[in-house]
Amino acid sequence: MKQLLIFCLLVWLFINYGNCIEHDSSVVINLKHALSGGPNPVFKDRGTITIPSLRLSQAVVHQKRLTDVERIQIQKLANDNDLYRINATVIANDEIERSFISTIKACMLAEAELDDRLSVSVDYMGRVIGVSLVIASKATCEGSNVSIDKLGEFTTNVYVRHTETGIIPDTATYIDKLQKEKEAKERDDHKDNRSFLAKYWIYIVPVVIVMVISSATNPEAQGGGQ
Partner 1 sequence: MANFRSIYKIQIFLTILVHVTLALYEDQVGKFDWKLSFVGKVKFVSLEAKRIIVATEENVLASLNLKNGDIHWRQVLEDPKDYKLELLHVNKEIVTVSGKENTWFVRTWDLNTGTILTEWFINTERTVPSLFTIVNEKLLHIVPIRGLQVEITSYTLANAENTNGSILKGISRKIPAAWLNKDSDCVPAKSYIVCAVSSKLYYVDLLKENSMFVSQSLADLVDNSAGKVLLIEYKQDVPSVLLLKNNIAKLGTFNGENIQIKPFNLMPNAISISNNGKDLIYQLEANDNKNKLIKVKAKDPQTGLDSFSLDLEYPLGLGAPIILGGQSKGSVTDLLLSTTDDALLLVRLPEGKILWTREEALSSVVASEFFELPISELDASIEHEFDSANDILEMFSHRISTQIKQFYNLVFGNNLLQNSGLVRDEFGLHKIIVVATRAGKLFALDTLTGSIVWSYRLPNVQSFIGIDNEEKMLLLVQRTAQYAPLPAHCVLLAQDTITGNGILFEFDPITGYSKAGIQRLNYKIVQATLLPYQDKNFLKPMLVLSQDEQAHVYPTQAVSLIKDHFSTMFLYVADTENSRLSGYTLKYSTEDSLQVTPSWNVDLAPSKLIAVSAKPANEHVHSQGKVLYDRSVFYKYVNPNLLAVATMTSDPIYNSVLSVYLIDGVTGLIIYGTSHKKARGPIHLVHSENWLVYTFFNERFRRNEVVALELYEGHWQNNNIAFSSFALSQLPQVQSQAYILPSIPQTMAVTLTERGITNKFLIIALTTGAIIEIPWMFLQPRFTNMPCGPEESCIPYMPEIPLHSEATINYNQTLSGIHGIEVAPARLESTSHVLIHGLDIFYTRVAPSKTFDVLKEDFDHVLIVLVLTGLIVATLATKKLAARKALKQAWK
> Which positions touch partner 1 (CB under 8 A)?
10-15, 38-39, 81, 83, 85, 98, 100-105, 108, 119, 121, 123-125, 128-130, 132, 134-140, 161-171, 173-174, 177, 180-181, 184-185, 187-188
Q: Could you give the CA distance from residue 7 to residue 1 in angstroms, rounded to a whole number?
A: 10
Q: Residue 71 or residue 162: which is nearer to partner 1 going by CB? A: 162
Q: Could you give the CA distance from residue 128 to residue 130 in angstroms, rounded to a whole number?
A: 6
Q: Residue 66 or residue 118: which is nearer to partner 1 going by CB? A: 118
Q: Could you give the CA distance from residue 107 to residue 84 in angstroms, rounded to a whole number?
A: 9
CB 94, CB 78: distance < 8 Å: no
Shortest reach from residue 209's CB to partner 1, in Å: 34
Q: Is the dihedral angle over the CA atoms 10, 20, 133, 152 positive or is it negative? A: positive
Shortest reach from residue 65's CB to partner 1, in Å: 26
H/E element, 171: helix 171-191
CB 120, CB 86: distance < 8 Å: no
Shortest reach from residue 170's CB to partner 1, in Å: 6
Residue 131 backbone dihedrals phi, psi, to 5 degrees: -125, 120
Shortest reach from residue 14's CB to partner 1, in Å: 6
Shortest reach from residue 102's CB to partner 1, in Å: 5
Q: Residue 117 or residue 150: which is nearer to partner 1 going by CB? A: 117
Residues 6+ apart with CB under 8 A from 19: 55, 162
Q: Residue 8 or residue 202: which is nearer to partner 1 going by CB? A: 8
Q: Residue 58 or residue 103: which is nearer to partner 1 going by CB? A: 103
CB 84, CB 134: distance < 8 Å: no
Shortest reach from residue 150's CB to partner 1, in Å: 20
Q: Residue 72 or residue 136: which is nearer to partner 1 going by CB? A: 136
